[in-house]
Amino acid sequence: MSRLPGDRREILATGIAIATFTALLVLSLFELVETQRTLVAGNDENRLWTIVQAQSELQKLVIATATEQDVETRQLRFDIAISRFDLLQWGSVARRLPPEGIPVVEKARADLMSLEADIAVPGADIGDRANALLSPSIEALRDLANAVMVQENNRSGARREMFRNGVVRVIIFTFGVMASGLFLITRLLSSLQKLTNADEKLRKEKDFLQLLIEASGDGIVAFDKDFNCTHWNSGNALIYGKAAEEVIGRNLFDVFPFPDDHDVSIMLHKTVNGESQRIAEHRLPGSDRFLEKYGFPVQSDGIVIGGVIITRDVTQRHLTHLELVGHRTRLEELVTERTTTLNQTERQLRSAIQSAPDGFAAFDASGALIVANEQASLLVKDEKASFQPGTPLSHILANAGLTERLHSGSPVEPGTDVRIETTELKIEDGSWLLVTLRQAADGTSVLRFADITAYKRAAETLANALAHEQHLRQLHTDFVSMVSHQFRTPLAIIDSGAQRMARRSGEMTPEEVETRTSKIRAAATRLAGLVQATLDAARMDAGQMDFRPQDCNLSQLVRDVCDRQNELNPNRAFNLHLENLPKTIHCDPMLMDQVIENMISNALKYSPAETQVDICGTVLSGQAALTVSDRGVGIPADEIPKLFNRFFRASTATGVEGTGIGLHVARQIALLHGGNITIESVVGRGTSAILTLPVDTHPVEVLQ
């Protein structure tokens, strides 16, 4: 028989522990219910009291007739005795009389009624007759009362025995719940250790990435949105003469006080605004070095959180470029001077361009293409055969989407020999090109395409790594905080309650038992809810949430949740307006019940007990909208966008129990149905949670 893998064994063991935990909780609740039913069963004391009262009133009537009391007194005693026998014959007590007691009661009442006429006669001497007639009934009622008392004592003893046995079973089940809970805590601590190991692995990967950055040879600086330096590698230290400890943690504008119109200042601001920038090669002030800078924004979940600037020492390339420029200038002069050898020179130029690694295209003074190498068409992924001799420069720029970025039609400024413009171009396959347009004073121009994909991907990799590290650290911190605070409190309540019941099991009153067991039940229910919420979030993230949509009555789902909440909060009121909801909505009833319960329980938790919760249903633009509104503490406006983040809790939720998981899971379920949950709130005035679902009878794709 093959063994299960380690992860599957752990999952199986955890599942068994949870099942055991749940089963023991259910058994404990069943025993508590049975014990409570046993305690409140039976009210034979009322039966015994009624029989004794009837006997007592007969005795008082005999005494009243024997002492020749006035007619009103005898009539009053007669009426009271008749009322007692009415209770015995026609009240609820009559149904619980033993069979032998019914003839006794009927005979006693008949004897009593035979005296009615004589009792109403003033001065009638009926004492002996009443004594002789009623004394046997008085004795019979006394015997009947004794029999009922013996029967009640026997039943009370049996109920006490059942109660003691129930308490013992509840204690046993409670210890089982504690053992299961300790096992689950052990599993959680094991998971925490795994997270620690993963963090250590991530740290090593970060160190490795640091080594790669340091070994790149280029200067790399990373900064946040406030321009505070977070990374300064040795390449930058070599270029700018400032060590990392002089820059990291400080504002870049404090370290390098550039004016606002400086190229570097402009690059920094545009980078944090989400634009990629490039500063063409330029001389570093006070040195013979030539530098080239690239600025790339760093994003997390589509939001710019900082930027990276890569500085490259291109001194050697610049010198080579100068030589190339000089060579090209001399070549152009030679072409001008030697018009007779134009064809030969053109062939030489074509050969040189074709062998270059970058893409080149040369244009005459009218803007028509003279020559272009094959690399230009390959880099641009040209499918329109634009790089054909005679094609206008404006047409090529338009096909590449560069018309707004390169000003090919404007003349070169007077007194300037050459104008150079550069921009970056992203190709459909994801590659990046650096495009340079060189325009001479005589109207001729050269277009160059250089592949910079490697540099762009390096920046993207760095941004993803930084964002991933930040996300993992935040999840780790939030999860540890939630486990240490939320799980310990209910376990402590269960443990202390169980210990007290174990110590005082024979001394506790039924009211104390009910109070303790209610606390244990509430704490266990909360602990189970925390575990379930954590598992729901994990299953949702893993894409393993069961989803079985069907036609459901959304209004009935809301009413069912309100009924359950009324059992837990009997003093809270709900104001329901559900008549405008559609009759059916295609949804998973179990998941949708979870969403609605989260919305309503949040409204109850965060609003005063004396206020009511408004629940309104409408249909807007083909969407069913369910709004749950409270008059509670409200949520600050700047925190509303974060409410659906896992483990996030608003600042106004201080003192109210919660994990920050429920609303995250609820929104994921709503999105799974093609809907959404939004929040509207004003601090101090209340909050409205709006669930929207499509009004669509077509079945939704089932995700397992």
What phi and psi, each to the nearest 5 degrees, are found at residue 37? -65, -40
Contact (Cβ atoms closer than 8 angstroms) between residue 170 and residue 517: yes
Domain boundaries, the chain: 44-185, 188-200+472-538, 216-313, 356-451, 545-694
Distance of CA 687 to the CA centre of its chain: 17
Which residues are registered as beta bridge partners of 450?
434
Going by C-alpha positions, the residue among 422, 464, 397 that lies closest to residue 293 is 422
pLDDT under 50: residue ranges of the chain? 1-2, 41-43, 485, 697, 699-704
What phi and psi, each to the nearest 5 degrees, are found at residue 580? -90, 0
Contact (Cβ atoms closer than 8 angstroms) between residue 535 and residue 681: no
Cα–Cα separations (whole angstroms), residue 149 to 13, 546, 615: 55, 59, 55
- In whole angstroms, what is the distance from residue 474 CA to residue 478 CA? 6
Task: Give pLDDT, residue 693.
Answer: 93
- In whole angstroms, what is the distance from residue 190 CA to residue 596 CA? 34
- Domain 545-694: CATH architecture, name and number where available: 2-Layer Sandwich (3.30)
The full 3-state SS of 265-322, as one line of letters, equals HHHHHHHHCCCCEEEEEEECCCCCCEEEEEEEEEEECCEEEEEEEEEEECHHHHHHHH
Contact (Cβ atoms closer than 8 angstroms) between residue 104 and residue 136: no
CATH 3.40.50.300 fits 356-451, yes or no: no
Task: Give pLDDT, residue 483.
Answer: 52
Buried b (16+ CB within 10 A) or exposed e, 540-573: beeeebebebeebbbbebbeebbeebeeeeeebe
* Six-digit token string for 167: 């308490």
- In whole angstroms, what is the distance from residue 370 CA to residue 366 CA? 10
- For residue 339, the 8-state DSSP code is G
Residue in the structure block whose two tokens are 């059942």 = 162
Superfamily of domain 216-313: PAS domain (3.30.450.20)
Residue in the structure block whose two tokens are 């909360």 = 526
DSSP letters for 473-528: HHHHHHHHHHIIIIIHHHHHHHHHHHHHHHHTTTT--HHHHHHHHHHHHHHHHHHH
Q: Selecting from 3.40.109.10, 1.10.3720.10, 1.10.287.130, 3.40.718.10, what CATH number does the domain 188-200+472-538 have?
A: 1.10.287.130
Task: Give pLDDT, residue 2.
Answer: 47
The radius of gyration of the chain from alpha carbons, rounded to an integer in Å, stands at 45
Distance of CA 409 to the CA centre of its chain: 55
What is the torsional sign of CA 559, 563, 564, 566?
Answer: positive
Domain 188-200+472-538 matches domain 545-694 at the CATH topology level: no
Contact (Cβ atoms closer than 8 angstroms) between residue 700 and residue 674: yes
Going by C-alpha positions, the residue among 515, 397, 375, 118 that lies closest to residue 386 is 397
Q: Say how many C-beta atoms besides its own lie within 10 A of residue 238's C-beta.
A: 12
Q: pTM of whole model > 0.75?
A: no
* Six-digit token string for 656: 């109210």
Task: Give pLDDT, residue 41.
Answer: 47
Residue in the structure block whose two tokens are 């799974």 = 672
Burial bucket for residue 61 (CB in 10 Å: 0-12, 13-18, 19+): buried
Going by C-alpha positions, the residue among 543, 563, 544, 560 that lies closest to residue 552 is 560
- In whole angstroms, what is the distance from residue 561 CA to residue 460 CA? 47
- Domain 44-185: CATH architecture, name and number where available: Up-down Bundle (1.20)
Reduce the DSSP state of residue 423 to 3 states and report it: strand
